Amino acid sequence: MPTIKHTLIGPIRQAVTMANLPLKGALKDEQMEIISEAGILIKNDRILQIGSYWDMYPEAQSIGAEILNLKGDFVALPGLIDCHTHICFGGSRAKDYAMRNAGKSYLEIAKAGGGIWDTVTKTRKAGLEKLVQLTIQRANRHLKDGITTIEVKSGYGLSVEEELKMLRAIKQARENTHADLIPTCLAAHIPPKDFEGTHRDYLKAIAEELFPILKEEGLSNRIDAFIEDTAFSAEDIQSYFHKAKEMGFDITVHADQFYAGGSQVAVDFGAISADHLEASGEKEIRILAALDTIAVALPGASMGLGVPYTPARKLLDAGASLAIASDWNPGSAPMGDLLMQASILGTFEKLSNAEVLAGITCRAAAALNLNDRGHLVSGLLADIILFPTDDYREITYQQGRLKPGMVFKNGVRV
Ligand code: NIG
Ligand code: FE
């Protein structure tokens, strides 16, 4: 007989459930369900019940639940979800950062041996074990900050073998951290310098040789591509994405980072998400709002590169769904602090608490096509974080300085 474990957590001053919010469009704080003096009853890895702590207490006791009696003030949120990261990488690009801040151009930095290719070289040099270890370390740092689900991209391998090495490293890291890692294949990050053939030949080789192995080994069911003039064009990517769709992969796109165009590709292919969008204009905002592709803002990349933020306010007002992710990577977004970045995006883009928090919980879950998390409601995974405060507004107000005091993943305190 499998063992059943019940735990009741409470009383929680405010449980912000993120339940019943529309997936798309602007949100007001009053739309958020906030349960005062809440209790959350967990059964194994799931939320069994959420409601008034004092109403739930007698029943919890009668079924022998462990009572986690909170002393002091706490606000509960669903575990945060970072739906776009590149945390599997070797080396640092501190040199690029300094050069960029000294006014050097993208090309000058690349010529001096910097840019994405530099990280490819360093990631290829790092053995599998080292990559596993680095990914676990970064995932655990995120977990401490309350991020219980983390998307992780490959894309610093850029050959069949090296992409496989990265995705196998992510799989091994996943087995060795409490955070849930969601792997994405970004073999179409940039055209590799050492591939003999055209960009399209490279993509063809990846689709034919790597995609079937991803399926066989269960390494990823998501395919990403960077659509940009320094990476792949909209035309380059057509047959790659067609093949990915045919094989049943979810599509996501690095879109409109420096010039607009990628978001059109994203909606054409029914992508789950279009990420970046710093360069999106009225037209791109309109098409994203009209369709189901989730817009993902990456404020950490704006901070890392010193470029404008994604037009989050305009996207929401036009009716788009907006998730917010860290893009944690060694080049454009080395900071990797999701809550700080989401809060600061909120101040610059005039976002409500509801919009910021939805962007890193329920809307981020949708950007990963996950319907078992992102809200505190019965039946979903017991991914719960507790901040030491009595007012949920302190969380964005403190701009990332307020960290969760307790983090639960799949019902287990981590
Ligand atoms: O999301 N835009 C392309 N890729 C990454 C940057 C990766 C890197 O610079 O290493 C991004 O910003
Ligand atoms: Fe990225």
Which domain CATH number covers 347? 3.20.20.140
Residue 178 and residue 303 share a domain: yes
CA of 49 to the centre of ligand 1 (A): 41
Is residue 346 included in any domain, yes or no? yes
Clarify whether residues 243 and 255 are in a common domain: yes
| CATH, residue 392 | 2.30.40.10
Atom of ligand 1 nearest to the CA of 304: 12
- Domain residues for the domain of 126 are 81-367
Write the residue with the smallest CA distance to atom 9 of ligand 1.
331
* pLDDT, mean over the chain: 97
* pLDDT value of residue 77: 99
Which ligand 1 atom lies nearest to the CA of residue 186?
Answer: 4
Indicate the burial class of 234 (C-beta count within 10 angstroms; 0-12, 13-18, 19 or more).
middle
**Closest ligand 1 atom, CA of 327?**
1
Pair (64, 111) in one structural domain:
no
Cβ neighbours for 1, distance < 8 A, ≥ 6 positions apart? none
Q: Do residue 110 and residue 59 come from a single domain?
A: no
* Cβ-contact 35, 50 below 8 angstroms: yes
* Ligand with smallest separation from the Cα of 119: 1
Number of domains the chain contains: 2
- Does 294 share its domain with 255? yes
Residues 139 and 281 in one domain: yes
Q: How far is the CA of 254 from the centre of ligand 2 (A)?
A: 6
Which ligand number lies closest to the CA of residue 97? Answer: 1
Structural domain includes residue 47? yes
Report pTM.
0.98
pLDDT in tens, 283-310: 999 999 999 999 999 999 999 999 999 9
Ligand 1 centre to CA of 93 (Å) is 12
Weakly modelled stretches of the chain, pLDDT under 50: none
149 shares a domain with 75: no
Ligand 1 pocket (Cβ < 6 Å) reads: 86, 116, 119, 226, 254, 257, 301, 327, 329-333
Residues 159 and 296 in one domain: yes
Q: Which residues surround ligand 2, an ion (CB under 5 A)?
A: 327
User: What's the ipTM?
Assistant: 0.95
Distance of CA 282 to the CA centre of its chain: 25
Residues contacting residue 99 through CB under 8 Å, at least 6 positions apart: 108, 109, 112, 114
pLDDT at residue 84, as a whole number: 99
Is residue 247 in some structural domain? yes
Same domain for 278 and 311?
yes
* 329 Cα to the center of ligand 1, angstroms: 7
Give 65 Cα–ligand 1 centroid separation in angstroms: 46
Let me know whether 228 and 351 are in one domain: yes
Q: Which ligand is nearest to the CA of 89?
A: 1
pLDDT confidence of residue 167: 98
Give yes or no: residues 26 and 148 share one domain. Answer: no
Determine the distance separating the centroid of ligand 2 and the alpha carbon of 244, expressed in angstroms. 19
Q: Which ligand is nearest to the CA of 224?
A: 2
Q: Say which amino acid occupies 73.
A: D
- 21 C-alpha to ligand 2 centroid (Å): 27
Residue 1 placed within a domain: no
Same domain, 16 and 86: no
What was the pLDDT predicted at 72? 96
Say how far apart CA 190 and CA 138 lie, in whole Å: 24
119, 302, 332, 341: which to mutate for ligand 1, most atoms within 8 A of CB?
332
pLDDT digits (tens, 9 = 90+) for 168-190: 999 999 999 999 999 999 999 99
Contact 41, 67 (CB under 8 A): no
| Site to substitute for ligand 1 among 84, 85, 86, 335, most atoms within 8 A of C-beta | 86
